[in-house]
Amino acid sequence: MDNILDNVLFNAFGNASENIFVYVCDMKKDISRWSKNTVDYFALEEEYIHKAGEKWLQRIHPNDRNEYIKDIENIFSGKTQNHNCQYRAQNKYGDYVWLECKGSVITDENGVPSIFAGLMTRLDNQLKYDNLTHLKTAHELQNKNFNVNSGILIHIGVQRFKVINSEHGVLYGNMVLVTLANIISNTIPSDCIPYRLQGDEFIIFAENKTTEFGLQLFNKINEQCSALTLAKDGIAAFSIISGIVKYPQDGTDFSTLINNAEHCAEHLKEASTDQVTIFTEKINAAHNRKSKIAQALTESIRNNFNGFELFFQPIVNNDNSTVVSCEALLRWNSHSDEIGNCYPGEFIPILENNGSIVQVGYFVMKEAIRMASIWQKKCKKFKVSFNVSYIQFEDSKFVPTLIKTAEEYKVDTSLIVIELTESVFASDTIMIQNTFKTLKKHGFMIALDDFGTGNSSFMLLHNYNVDIIKLDQTFIRGLNQSGSEVDYAIVESIAFLCNKINYLTVAEGVEDKYLWMRIKDFGFTGLQGYLFSKPLCVKEFEAFLRKYDMYYDTNK
Ligand code: C2E
Ligand code: CA
Ligand code: CA
């Protein structure tokens, strides 16, 4: 890597403090390097970033962007040599933190701006007490000396806090945090200290206490949170989740202890069964595997998406069993024995977590459209669907890139289906409706994927104009030999309703003939499942179509 970016001073200052983030930019190449703590804390793609200005801008609070843009433009145009502004930037937890960003430009021998370097200092961390909850801050926790032989650290978070915030507003979200802080303070014994880490994360440090004590304390706090009522307390009941780590077994400094406690929270969120867990080797191993996969994925992306490949699963027409449609499903070969098999259910959430799903999503989009352009030449009605993560859907370049790619490959856009899950609909309704309008204007089809698994499936039909409903596999698979009449009635009614409002419908997870026969007359348009075929690589998929004579002669 460029030696301007790789110098000893950068390494030294980059590690100087948790509250200071260091960056240096080679302005001629527009490549910058960010200290490791910046990459970690703000979940940046990597230490070296091309055109970082645009990417960093996405992290900045919308209200603070103009000032930042003005400042940076002045620097890059050579108008000023010093950058000094304060703004909020979004960290890996989705919280905005105040930063003071100072930097200067160094010119080359011809006076041309060549290096831009500086520091960003966290302003909130300088505070001893948190403004909102009046608990001690993370800063205080980091500075605390250990003078005990043993203890536990309890990490407490609010379940689905982001949803609470977006559904009821930030002010209500703040009230939830204050209420929880009060409950914690009033419940813990006087020798335990509560802290607010950030966002909805709280820590209790309990010296000389055992994990049994931690579990009991959790139960007491949890009981009070679940007994709240809107009428009496002004706050509806909410759930908390908690991880408990032991000192010194699980870490001998606060950073390690907090990290391990956060791994517990991560584990609980994924498993979504328990609300509290004690840190175990298994949780540690799961976290380490995730980190290894994340690293290997980044490496694959950097190597021009090496290891990523699209598989295609046929969607069969319910009337005549021909295949005129398919879904693109991503596969990834890690090329690592240690990682072994890794399926989308495991790697997609990791890509979503670090934001790389956006880049990978464009790879998927391009490949799916490229294949659609080939297959459409052989079968005029052949549809190709691909999945779009809610994170990519919110990316401002999503719609323009889709339109451009479709033009580039000259595909019939009415045969390109964008599959979206309910998570997409958590953001701004008007924005989504407008994006849908633009997509429709350009001819694309929209499918609502995994229908029935979220909280608001029917509300979505009411609010949004989609073309296809894909009923989630769990409903179809529920119709097996031991399936109940209730499941049967649910599937039949959903198919009936969708037909009534003229939506196309696809039943997912048709695994055997028994299931197929049970739903055959419900009126689904398409059927997808292992009974017809598993997802196949391009070569196998084309062979499958040829074997069943399905696409060379379905020219209708
Ligand atoms: P999905 O969109 O609901 O895709 C259907 C999943 O069900 C696929 O799993 C498919 O292999 C599997 N499947 C199909 N028929 C059957 C069946 O009869 N029985 C059973 N048990 N399973 C069946 P896959 O490929 O592992 O993908 C899992 C999920 O990962 C997808 O669920 C989708 O949410 C996500 N995903 C896959 N590819 C992409 C992608 O390119 N981008 C994004 N954002 N997400 C993707
Ligand atoms: Ca899908
Ligand atoms: Ca699905």
What's the CA gap between 294 and 283, in Å, rounded?
16
Query: Which residue is closest in CA terms to ligand 1's atom 34?
Result: 387
Helix (H, G, I), strand (E, B) or coil at 72: helix
Tokens matching residue 163: 């949803």
446 contacts 420 by C-beta, under 8 angstroms: yes
Closest CA to 497 of 464, 522, 526: 522
What's the CA gap between 183 and 227, in Å, rounded?
12
What does each of the 556 residues of the chain score in pLDDT, given as a tens digit?
Answer: 457 777 777 777 777 777 789 999 998 888 999 998 899 899 898 899 998 888 899 899 887 888 888 888 888 787 888 888 888 899 887 778 888 899 998 888 888 888 999 999 887 766 777 878 989 888 788 777 777 789 999 999 999 898 898 889 989 999 999 999 999 999 999 889 999 998 999 999 999 999 999 999 999 999 999 999 999 999 999 999 999 999 999 998 888 999 999 999 989 988 778 999 999 999 999 999 999 999 999 999 999 999 999 999 999 998 878 898 999 999 999 999 999 999 999 999 999 988 999 999 999 999 999 999 999 998 888 999 999 999 999 999 999 999 999 999 999 999 999 999 988 887 778 889 999 999 999 999 999 999 988 776 788 888 888 999 999 999 998 888 787 888 889 899 999 999 998 999 999 999 999 999 999 999 999 999 999 999 999 999 999 998 876 654 444 3
Q: Which residue among 329, 348, 385, 533 is best mutated to probe the pocket of ligand 1, counting the most ligand atoms within 8 A of its Cβ?
A: 329
Cα of 290 vs centre of ligand 1, distance in Å, is 20
State the ligand closest to the CA atom of 358.
Answer: 1
- Supply the pTM of this predicted model: 0.73
pLDDT at residue number 468:
96
State the ligand closest to the CA atom of 450.
Answer: 3
Query: Which residue is closest in CA terms to ligand 1's atom 7?
Result: 509
CA dihedral 432, 436, 439, 444 (to 10 degrees): 130
204 contacts 159 by C-beta, under 8 angstroms: no
Pocket of ligand 1 (CB under 6 A): 313, 329-330, 343-345, 348, 361, 364, 386-389, 419, 449-450, 473, 509-511, 528-530, 535
Tokens matching residue 26: 């080679």
pLDDT at residue number 75:
82
pLDDT at residue number 411:
97
Closest CA to 551 of 412, 414, 376: 376
Q: What is the CA radius of gyration of the chain?
A: 27
Burial of 454 (0-12, 13-18, 19+ CB in 10 A): middle
The CA-CA-CA angle for residues 3, 359, 14, to 5°, reads 35
Query: Which residue is closest in CA terms to ligand 1's atom 10?
Result: 535
Cα of 470 vs centre of ligand 2, distance in Å, is 8
Number of Cα atoms under 13 Å in the Cβ half of residue 256: 9
Tokens matching residue 57: 């801008």
E runs forming strands in 53-210: 82-90, 96-107, 113-122, 136-137, 151-158, 192-198, 201-207
Closest CA to 316 of 548, 477, 502: 548
Q: Which residue among 387, 449, 519 is best mutated to probe the pocket of ligand 1, counting the most ligand atoms within 8 A of its Cβ?
A: 387
pLDDT at residue number 554:
42
Closest CA to 318 of 105, 54, 508: 508
The CA-CA-CA angle for residues 483, 487, 491, to 5°, reads 125
What is the DSSP secondary structure assignment for residue 423, as one 8-state letter? G
Amino acid at 483: G
Cα of 393 vs centre of ligand 2, distance in Å, is 14
Closest CA to 507 of 485, 482, 481, 487: 487
Cα of 449 vs centre of ligand 2, distance in Å, is 5
Instruction: Enumerate residues 6+ apart whose C-beta is below 8 A from 476.
Output: 491, 507, 508, 509, 510, 515, 519, 529
pLDDT at residue number 556:
38
Q: What are phi and psi of 207, to 5 degrees?
A: -70, 145
Cα of 351 vs centre of ligand 2, distance in Å, is 16
What's the CA gap between 420 and 23, in Å, rounded?
37
Q: What are phi and psi of 457, to 5 degrees?
A: -50, -50
Cα of 539 vs centre of ligand 1, distance in Å, is 19
